[in-house]
Amino acid sequence: MAETFEPFTIRKMTVKNRIVMAPMCMYQADDDGRLNLFHFVHYATRAVGGVGLILVEATAVERRGRISSRDLGLWEDAHVDKLRELTDEIRKYNTAIGVQLAHAGRKCEAEGESIIAPTALSFSENMPVPEEMSREDIRAVAGAFRDAARRARLAGFDVVEIHGAHGYLINQFLSPLTNKRSDEYGGNLENRARFLIEVVEAVRSEWPDALPVILRVSAEDHMAEGNHPGDLAAIINRVKEKGVDMVNVSSGGVVKEAVINAYPGFQIPFAETIRKETGLPVIGGGLVTSPEMVEEIVQNGRSDLVYIGRELLRNPYFALDAIDALGADVDWPESYKRGRKALSKS
């Protein structure tokens, strides 16, 4: 059987196959951060399409932590009920579902918000200079992650992912390109990892022991003076004992000047390094577009799960097509079997 369709278990969450829907911002919520019909159609379609794990897009733990005014949110209890409806719907298709807890920091472009960051450096000349976070701000944001984790539990998610990548707040603390602090949250690698450790501890204090926590990282800043995969592995080795079970490996986004040479599978070597140097399972990806690419990555032990982004936007039924492409002994959903090319006579 194709290894792509072998189940994978971490803590007490089992994913039916190795295909993960990457968290991709849709910018379809209203200013209140609540789900609407778009999100139900968007995510349920990929569940029907056979994805093993859906990671819901960046979901803000504070209003000022939104990337845009149309981000999803988990900053108040009123967000829980609609998210619970979504997790109940997705689970009907034997698909696991997680939520990415996020704070944009200096990359917040939501209207009317005062933005914060570890250091008062703007992302670009067109964006405002953020306010440097005080220790009280740091404690407050860690508390916001904690409260969002509690709401995620009430909403019925199988896993939470802490967004520490793509130049958002946690990544801003981790990278020497954006963290110029001289206190215990800046300077050497140990200090730059301190905020992340506090966030993981806060999330774990409200998240069930039986369920996993994923950390998403930018393993490569794509700048000589920035972080590289070995640096991230060292950071992860400091934080994993706090309750991180898996690493979702991406790259870039922390500074506008970085030049990324993107090609099919370009981030998989970063995932391999993180997997080898931390001993944790990883989710790898980066312009993966075919079932054969997924199978090669999984069979060769380069990544435990593989995230698909743009290709799932083009083809919500990527995983169903992969069943036939890889000759896997897996059924299609009953309602869709008539469309299966391998069985169709018309």
- Burial of 314 from C-beta contacts in 10 A (0-12 / 13-18 / 19+): exposed
Provide the pLDDT for residue 342. Answer: 63
Q: What is the CA radius of gyration of the chain?
A: 19
How far apart, in whole angstroms, are the C-alpha atoms of residue 339 and residue 332?
A: 9
Provide the pLDDT for residue 343. Answer: 61
pLDDT string in tens for the chain (346-residue length): 699 999 999 999 999 999 999 999 999 999 999 999 999 999 999 999 999 999 999 999 999 999 999 999 999 999 999 999 999 999 999 999 999 999 999 999 999 999 999 999 999 999 999 999 999 999 999 999 999 999 999 999 999 999 999 999 999 999 999 999 999 999 999 999 999 999 999 999 999 999 999 999 999 999 999 999 999 999 999 999 999 999 999 999 999 999 999 999 999 999 999 999 999 999 999 999 999 999 999 999 999 999 999 999 999 999 999 999 999 999 999 999 999 986 654 4
Asked if residues 243 and 198 have their Cβ atoms less than 8 Å apart, the reply is no
What are the residue ranges spanned by the domains of the chain? 3-339
**Encoding tokens for residue 291?**
């079932």
Residue 182 sits at φ, ψ, to 5 deg, of -115, 5
pTM, full prediction: 0.97
Residues 6+ apart with CB under 8 A from 52: 8, 15, 16, 17, 18, 19, 20, 95, 96, 305, 319
Provide the pLDDT for residue 341. Answer: 81
Q: Any idea which fold 3-339 has?
A: TIM Barrel (3.20.20)
